[in-house]
């Protein structure tokens, strides 16, 4: 369908496309990590927006764009209970059934627990799932075409109420895609059972078929983000929404994966993006945040004449469930009691589980400054991983090799917003605190590397930062940087020289072969030997290639375990009467000549600026997004 001028014989209709994305099983308006209500999350809250948006429009469709299975303790518990034989409908699917979604696609996190888990969950849905670039892997000697995990598309036949009161049929083609990296990130649990094509190639093949089957309108559910177009034209990109938007025949594009917002300032300045209007190369598009924070809306004015349907106008927008005002969250909608009641038992069970005591800690655990100095939450993860790794390698051929550990700050603001930090008081710890420190259901792996390969790992981690100079004050962090890709290695001390350009870009491509940021790397009191062999305990996402870190792939895994890192951390904390959370030497910034940088963190960090006194923090007020802005002076 393409824009067309109206004629005398044309009749018109209004169609509203509604979309959610990256719900991560956040249904209840509750923060299970801090154990208090939250008005900034939850599909039950978004449901209020959905009802209002439907009531305003004569015709509407509701879609979800993937990553709904896990991420919130309620969803994670549903996955675990399913392994124990429980047959209850997944809580997010239950809520989506209540809301009568029209269709949905799959995100990469749907596969974190393997193929059987997601197939079991979607089998409980009363709406179709689609994905065009995911198939079962062909086995040697199998001549049959690869079979789909779910149908590549669905054709929805709807009757539209026209502006003049009459009715006309409309066929909507809905097709979905997700990043092909899913087979790498989840290689441990998929075991080669799934193959995933490049998103653009799959859609290029599928869009003409949708038209041939009579689709009047095509909606693409693309679980992918928005990044500048690759000048080299490489295929298989993780965030390929701009390349997708260039394909002919797409009427509406739903994006996600990055937990950001479109329309809005998150994508300003990117060629091909009209960030305020919500258009990618002219195609109306939305990215509706995460955890139910926003409802994406694309309003279409359609025209029908003897030649068929066309689009006269389109308008993309977001409706948030809350807003920040004077440092607090103000709700903008009332939750849907149908969903709250339907999930009340899940909510009670989750609270009881998350409140289980596991130990004590002697100091607060905070992540406000995790991107500028060593912090306790990351160090505790690393200490637990190293301890577990030592026991795993005992009696194996790897015993005697140096053992390091790599972990990242999962809650350090950024895309998660100004409240997305760990802040745990000293004293008693509960399971909710473990989930707060370690947000993902990753498993522990041990990879074997050379010293040189470890340096490249750290160089990739250091690409999070911008280059600095005393005469060029500016933002410390690269725009859009994912904090979960800032790996900190325990068992070593090292410095990051930000006067040098980044060696890698965000996708792991070598930018500056002649430059290095990692200096003064010491292991066991001695300089690292580039040729020596060593072991690094890390999570299964990273070991399988997640984050585009050079040299990491499933082939590099020396030892693995089925244990989730959260369980390992919980057991390690429980084994001690009181955990010593003192900060230990780790990484630091190398001398820059006093370069000044701008750094954003949570406003709740203000009383703790003494933790980074060595960086001379100067508060500069609060940003429009609710972050505390600081001016820091590097060494």
pLDDT digits (tens, 9 = 90+) for 520-553: 999 989 999 999 999 999 999 999 999 999 999 9
Nearest partner of 224 among 111, 18, 66, judged by Cα: 66
Tell me, what's the pLDDT at 297?
99
Tell me, what's the pLDDT at 109?
96
pLDDT confidence tier of residue 83, bands split at 50, 70 and 90: low
pLDDT confidence tier of residue 177, bands split at 50, 70 and 90: very high
Helix-, strand-, coil-residue percentages of the chain, each rounded to 5: 25, 30, 45
Give φ, ψ of 544 to 5 degrees: -90, 10
pLDDT confidence tier of residue 47, bands split at 50, 70 and 90: very high
CA 306 to chain centre: 45
According to DSSP, residue 351 is labeled H
Nearest partner of 600 among 584, 586, 621, 585, judged by Cα: 621
600: its two tokens:
């954003």
Q: Would you say residue 181 has pLDDT above 90?
A: yes
Q: Would you say residue 2 has pLDDT above 70?
A: no
> What CA–CA distance (Å, rounded) separates 612 from 370?
10
Q: Would you say residue 79 has pLDDT above 70?
A: yes
Grouping H, G, I as helix, E, B as strand and the rest as coil, residue 454 is helix
pLDDT confidence tier of residue 488, bands split at 50, 70 and 90: very high
For the stretch 217-264, pLDDT in tens is: 999 999 999 999 888 788 899 999 999 999 999 999 999 999 999 999
For the stretch 304-313, pLDDT in tens is: 999 999 999 9
Tell me, what's the pLDDT at 472?
85
Average pLDDT over residues 579-608: 97
For the stretch 246-257, pLDDT in tens is: 999 999 999 999
Cis ω on the peptide bond leading into residue 263 (within 30° of 0)?
yes
311: its two tokens:
């689009």
For the stretch 448-458, pLDDT in tens is: 999 999 999 99
CATH of the domain spanning 11-347, picked from 3.30.420.140, 3.40.50.740, 3.60.21.10, 1.10.10.10: 3.60.21.10
> What CA–CA distance (Å, rounded) separates 42 from 27?
4
Tell me, what's the pLDDT at 23?
99
Q: E strands along 355-457, which residues?
A: 357-361, 365-366, 403-407, 423-424, 427-430, 443-450
Give kind and range of the element (H or E) at residue 396: none
pLDDT confidence tier of residue 415, bands split at 50, 70 and 90: confident
Q: Would you say residue 110 has pLDDT above 80?
A: yes
Average pLDDT over residues 405-415: 95
pLDDT above 90 covers what percent of the chain? Answer: 89
Q: Would you say residue 3 has pLDDT above 70?
A: no
Q: Would you say residue 120 has pLDDT above 90?
A: yes
Tell me, what's the pLDDT at 10?
80
Give kind and range of the element (H or E) at residue 595: none
> What CA–CA distance (Å, rounded) separates 218 from 187?
32
Q: Would you say residue 416 has pLDDT above 90?
A: no
Tell me, what's the pLDDT at 326?
81
pLDDT confidence tier of residue 185, bands split at 50, 70 and 90: very high
Q: How far is CA 266 from CA 82, 241, 258, 262, 601, in A?
A: 38, 14, 10, 7, 17
Average pLDDT over residues 269-294: 98
Domain boundaries, the chain: 11-347, 357-589
pLDDT confidence tier of residue 80, bands split at 50, 70 and 90: confident
Q: Average model confidence (pLDDT) for the chain? A: 95
Return all residues near 536 (Cβ < 8 A) that are at least 6 apart.
403, 404, 405, 406, 446, 447, 449, 454, 457, 489
- Residue pair 379/500 in contact (Cβ under 8 Å)? The answer is no
> What CA–CA distance (Å, rounded) separates 50 from 40?
16
Average pLDDT over residues 166-186: 97
CATH of the domain spanning 357-589, picked from 3.50.50.60, 3.90.780.10, 1.10.10.10, 3.30.930.10: 3.90.780.10
> Across the chain, how many H-helices and E-strands are there?
15, 37
> What CA–CA distance (Å, rounded) separates 23 from 468?
36
> What CA–CA distance (Å, rounded) separates 419 from 155?
40
Tell me, what's the pLDDT at 471?
86
Average pLDDT over residues 89-116: 97
Beta bridge partners, 622, equal 628
Nearest partner of 590 among 467, 445, 473, 479, judged by Cα: 467
């Amino acid at each position: 369908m393409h824009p067309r001028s109206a004629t005398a014989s044309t009749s018109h209709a209004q169609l509203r496309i509604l979309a959610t994305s990256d719900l991560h099983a956040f249904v209840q308006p509750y923060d299970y990590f801090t154990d208090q209500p939250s008005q900034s999350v939850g599909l039950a809250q978004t449901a209020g927006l959905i009802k209002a948006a439907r009531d305003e429009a004569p015709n509407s469709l509701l879609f979800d764009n993937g990553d709904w299975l896990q991420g919130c303790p309620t969803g994670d518990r549903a996955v675990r209970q399913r392994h124990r034989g429980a047959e209850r409908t997944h809580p997010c699917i239950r809520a989506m059934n209540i809301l009568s979604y029209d269709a949905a696609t799959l995100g990469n996190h749907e596969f974190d627990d393997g193929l059987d888990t997601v197939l079991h969950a979607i089998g409980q849905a009363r709406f179709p799932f689609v994905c065009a670039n995911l198939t079962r892997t062909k086995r040697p000697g199998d001549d049959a075409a690869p079979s789909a995990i779910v149908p590549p598309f669905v054709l929805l036949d709807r009757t539209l109420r026209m502006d003049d009161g009459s009715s006309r049929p409309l066929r909507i083609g809905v097709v979905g895609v997700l990043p092909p990296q899913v087979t790498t990130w989840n290689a441990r649990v998929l075991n080669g059972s799934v193959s995933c094509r490049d998103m653009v190639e799959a859609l290029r093949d599928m869009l003409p078929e949708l038209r041939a089957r009579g689709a009047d309108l095509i909606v693409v559910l693309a679980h992918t983000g928005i990044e500048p177009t690759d000048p080299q034209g490489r295929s298989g990109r993780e965030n390929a929404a701009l390349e997708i938007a260039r394909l002919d025949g797409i009427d509406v594009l739903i994006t996600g994966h990055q937990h950001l917002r479109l329309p809005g300032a998150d994508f300003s300045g990117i060629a091909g993006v009209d960030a305020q209007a919500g258009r990618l190369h002219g195609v109306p598009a939305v990215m509706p945040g995460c955890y139910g924070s926003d409802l994406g809306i694309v309003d279409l004015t359609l025209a029908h004449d003897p030649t068929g349907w066309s689009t006269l106008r389109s308008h993309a927008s977001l409706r948030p469930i809350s807003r920040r005002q004077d440092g607090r969250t103000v709700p903008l909608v009332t939750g849907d009691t149908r969903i709250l009641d339907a999930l009340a038992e899940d909510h009670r069970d989750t609270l009881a589980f998350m409140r289980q005591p596991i130990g004590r800690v002697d100091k607060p655990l905070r992540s406000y400054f995790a991107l500028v100095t060593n912090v306790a939450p990351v160090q505790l993860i690393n200490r637990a991983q190293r301890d577990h790794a030592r026991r795993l390698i005992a009696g194996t051929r790897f015993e005697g090799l140096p053992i390091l550990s790599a972990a990242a700050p999962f809650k350090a603001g950024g895309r998660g917003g100004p409240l997305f930090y760990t802040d745990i008081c000293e004293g008693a710890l509960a399971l909710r605190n473990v989930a707060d420190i370690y947000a993902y259901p990753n498993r522990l792996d041990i990879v074997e590397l050379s010293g040189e390969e470890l340096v490249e790992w750290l160089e990739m981690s250091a690409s999070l930062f911008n280059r600095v100079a005393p005469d060029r004050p500016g933002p410390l962090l690269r725009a859009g940087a994912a904090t979960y890709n800032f790996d900190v290695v325990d068992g070593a001390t090292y410095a990051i020289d930000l006067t040098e350009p980044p060696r890698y870009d965000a996708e792991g491509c070598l930018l500056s072969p002649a430059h290095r940021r990692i200096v003064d790397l010491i292991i066991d009191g001695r300089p690292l030997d580039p040729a020596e062999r060593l072991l690094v305990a890390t999570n299964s996402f990273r070991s399988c290639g997640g984050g585009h870190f050079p040299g990491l792939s499933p082939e590099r895994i020396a030892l693995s375990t089925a244990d989730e890192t959260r369980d390992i951390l919980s057991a390690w904390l429980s084994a001690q009467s009181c955990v010593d959370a003192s900060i230990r030497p780790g990484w630091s910034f190398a001398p820059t000549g006093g370069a000044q940088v701008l750094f954003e963190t949570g406003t709740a960090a203000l009383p703790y600026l003494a933790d980074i006194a060595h960086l001379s923090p100067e508060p500069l007020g609060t940003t429009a997004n609710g972050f505390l802005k600081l001016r820091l002076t590097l060494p």
